[in-house]
Amino acid sequence: MKINPIRSICCIGAGYVGGPTMAVIADRCPDIDVTVVDLNEERISAWNDSDLNNLPVYEPGLDLVVSRARGRNLFFSNQVKESISSADLVFISVNTPTKQKGLGAGQASDLRWVEACARQVATCAKGHTVVVEKSTLPVRTAAAIKAILAIPQRQYLNSEVAPTFSVLSNPEFLAEGTAINDLENPDRVLIGGEDPEAVNALAAIYQNWVAPEKILRTKLWSSELSKLAANAFLAQRISSINSVAALCEETGADVREVALAIGTDSRIGPKFLNAGPGFGGSCFQKDILNLVYLCHHFGLPEVASYWEQVVELNTWQQKRIARLLVQKLFGTVTGKKIAILGFAFKADTNDTREAPAIRISLDLLEEGAQLAIHDPKVSPNQIALELSHLPSNLDPGLKGEGTWHPSKSVETALEGADAVLILTEWEEYRDLDWLRLSRLMRAPAWVFDARSVVDPEKVASAGLMLWRVGEGSD
Ligand code: UDX
Ligand code: ADP
């Protein structure tokens, strides 16, 4: 079918993927109207806030892009139906968390939001509409979307103007914290689909700023699987280096030196070799578990357990860090104040989904610690949500109950603390004045650096004890 150039886009889902991606498309394609819709009214009004500091997603450079395009050809709205009706192309960019119950619980993705979108597109679309999967989805979800779109709608029975659809997969590879740069200078854009006209129409949008040779065209299923496989490979590198870090700590080696030595082999490459508190974020764990579920489904249990181990090692690393902190503090943290620096799953984002800080904080609370949590971008409400545990005033007593409290500054977090645990590599944690801070802490005070951001000499000369991930002693 002949498809006209795309003039109007609707993106369903104004989250970490939909918001920044559409902002960049609108910025780079001034002739295309881009409307981002969401059921969540609060989120949409935050996207429309005149104060760009209040955008619901914190991402360096996003405010500039939004300020250039918003109101010109970029719109944020709750009018889901109207926006779908007037769109030539609809991106589906809604949440797909791991299922909590029922068939595939703990592994498969919960597709209820994707299905709801497909049903809504089926009833509201007009003319020929290109429907694009943007959310990370299990392989063959496009088939389910196609099947829903193929159901004849009552209002069009016996009518010649019934809408028609092309379904494409166009996974997003942006990483949070660098989303704008990743979108503006992608390594590649992947488009999977069987309808060459629709593929070309979508490719034409990206060609406004991406070189044609970087736009890869594949089968639908290859595109869907590539996204899962890319995330699995990246997460596997992190579990690999974290496993080596644990061995370094035992043997007296240093994981930073090992990472440098192996990363300079051009076949291995230097990226994604930073040992840390384990990977977080909305994608890695979910996508690997999806892969594991798929492998079981297709009768490949050995392949499933190979990938499952990447997630298990990640959980183990987080538990290991909480455990070793307790051990170093004479086997107990009950009633002790511990400063947690960083709650976001990585620097330069306010996203806390699957953040290592969650599991580690919960383990320390279980041990009775009094946590003072600082993060430059995560709100206390968000921390409370993740810990399912309301903040309370620090209780210096030894009642045995773990409590936590948000801290506005690093200084207040460290005041009277026995230990500080750095869990996010925020720039501001790299150059702390340890001499001054050490005077605020209770001796013998510890610095646990799970992100390798501190200068070990400065920490040592301030009289503080230091544990760094992957650093063994001779
Ligand atoms: C990831 C993929 O990189 C991206 O392509 C995909 O679209 C979504 O998932 P994201 O989760 O936003 O992006 O961030 P990423 O930079 O990949 O980091 C994921 C986690 O791994 C973070 O918790 C990060 O701190 C951790 N990490 C990353 C390490 O522990 N060590 C590293 O060397 C790199
Ligand atoms: P991601 O990281 O994939 O962008 P988010 O959870 O940040 O995921 O964003 C997904 C957004 O999709 C949420 O704001 C949610 O309200 C929205 N959403 C989910 N289902 C629908 C729907 N049927 N119609 C409109 N918006 C939806």
Q: Hey, where are the domains in the chain?
A: 8-218, 312-468
Q: With a cut of 60, say whether residue 398 has pLDDT above it.
A: no
Q: How far is CA 238 from the centre of its chain?
A: 15
H-only helix segments in 70-218: 80-85, 112-124, 141-149, 179-184, 196-206
Please state the atom number of ligand 1 nearest to the C-alpha of residue 287: 9
Q: 406 CB less than 6 Å from ligand 2?
A: no
Longest dimension (CA), the chain: 82
Domain 312-468: what homologous superfamily? Answer: NAD(P)-binding Rossmann-like Domain (3.40.50.720)
Q: How far is the CA of 45 from the centre of ligand 2 (A)?
A: 14
Per the model's pLDDT, the better-predicted residue between 160 and 471 turns out to be 471
The rounded Å distance from CA 209 to ligand 1 centre is 25
Residue 17 beta carbon below 6 angstroms from any ligand 2 atom: yes
Is 23's pLDDT higher than 80? Answer: yes
Q: Could you tell me if the CB of 40 is within 6 A of ligand 2?
A: yes
Catalytic residues: 172, 227, 283
pTM, full prediction: 0.94
* Closest residue to atom 11 of ligand 2, CA basis: 13
Please determine, for residue 159, whether its predicted confidence score (pLDDT) is greater than 80.
no
Residues, the chain, total? 474
| Helix, strand counts (H, E) of the chain | 17, 14
Instruction: Give the pairing type, strands 89-92 and 74-77.
Output: unpaired
Nearest atom (ligand 2) to Cα of 13? 12
Question: Tell me, what's the pLDDT at 394?
Answer: 54
Could you read off the pLDDT of 44-93 as tens digits, one per residue?
999 999 999 999 999 999 999 999 999 999 999 999 999 999 999 999 99
Answer whether residue 233 shows pLDDT above 80.
Answer: yes
Q: Name the CATH superfamily, with its identifier, for domain 8-218.
A: NAD(P)-binding Rossmann-like Domain (3.40.50.720)
* Residue 18, ligand 2, Cβ within 6 A: yes
Per-residue pLDDT of 247-261, as tens digits, reads 999 999 999 999 999
Residues with CB under 6 A from ligand 1: 172-176, 231, 234, 238, 272-274, 276, 279-281, 283-284, 345-346
Residue 124 has pLDDT above 70, yes or no: yes
Residue nearest ligand 2's atom 16 by CA: 40
Tell me what pLDDT residue 399 has.
Answer: 67
Domains 8-218 and 312-468 share a fold: yes
For residue 92, report the distance from its CA to the centre of ligand 2, in Å: 9
Measure the CA–CA gap between 174 and 180, rounded to whole angstroms.
8
